[in-house]
Amino acid sequence: MATLRAIVGPVLATGFRLAGLTVEEATSAPQAAALLDRLAQRPDTGVILMQQDWFDLLPDAQRRILDRAAVPVVVPIPAADWSGGRTSAEEYILDLLQRAIGYRVRLQ
């Protein structure tokens, strides 16, 4: 049976683990590329989610190998972006809470 795995940074890792995915944490593009190579060799890996910024930095040779293989399918996903500072993160959480409970809460 093919599995879904994720190669993400520490910011996203907890969320994916809570969703039940097998997560490989990386802190740099070269480390993520090495993890991708290792996971691609496993016969049980079907789909790998990988942070877009690291996917974009994969060496051309590694991309060609992945493009020719039927599995795993590597799906780039956007990395968490809190560049707006604390306010953006708070707004995001408030929006999630509003959708979940139906009204706007105020964080103190």
Pick 13 or 93 by higher pLDDT. Answer: 13
Q: Using one digit for the tens of pLDDT, what is the confidence trace for 18-56?
A: 989 999 999 999 999 999 999 999 999 999 999 999 999
Nearest-5° Cα angle at 81, 76 to 87: 155
Q: Where are the alpha helices (DSSP H) in the chain?
A: 10-18, 29-40, 52-56, 60-68, 86-101
In this prediction the pTM is 0.72
Residue 90: is its pLDDT beyond 90? no
- Buried-exposed string 7-43: b where 16+ CB fall within 10 A, e elsewhere: bbbeebbeebeeeebebbbbeebeebbebbeebbeee
